[in-house]
């Protein structure tokens, strides 16, 4: 009975870990997509403030991208 309970707990923790990993992967993918879109918008001459607002990214991040593209 104890072994069965431990197996269920282990399986539950394993499933929670998988769900958490999937969620983190989705969030990272969304972030990467926003960054790629911001870079493309910068290349097309969009203003930093507009990009930040439209993509819901911090203005500091857009400015960092702008400076990293300039070098």
Q: What is the DSSP letter of 45?
A: T
Q: Does the pLDDT value for residue 70 go beyond 80?
A: no
Please, which residues have CB within 8 angstroms of residue 65's CB and are 6 or more apart in sequence? 35, 38, 39, 42
Provide the phi-psi class of 51: left if phi over 0, else alpha when psi is between -120 and 50, else beta.
alpha
Give pLDDT, residue 71: 61
- Overall average pLDDT of the 53-63 stretch: 97
Q: Encoding tokens for residue 25?
A: 């992967």
Helix or strand run (H / E) with residue 22? helix 2-43
User: Cα 64–68–71 angle (5° rounding)?
Assistant: 145
Tell whether pTM > 0.85: no
């Amino acid at each position: 009975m104890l072994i069965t309970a431990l197996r269920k707990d282990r399986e539950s923790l394993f499933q929670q870990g998988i769900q958490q990993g999937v969620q983190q992967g989705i969030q990272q993918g969304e972030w990467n997509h926003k960054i790629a879109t911001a870079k493309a918008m910068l290349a097309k001459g969009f203003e930093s403030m507009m990009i930040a607002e439209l993509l819901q990214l911090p203005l500091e991040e857009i400015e960092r991208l702008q400076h990293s593209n300039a070098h």
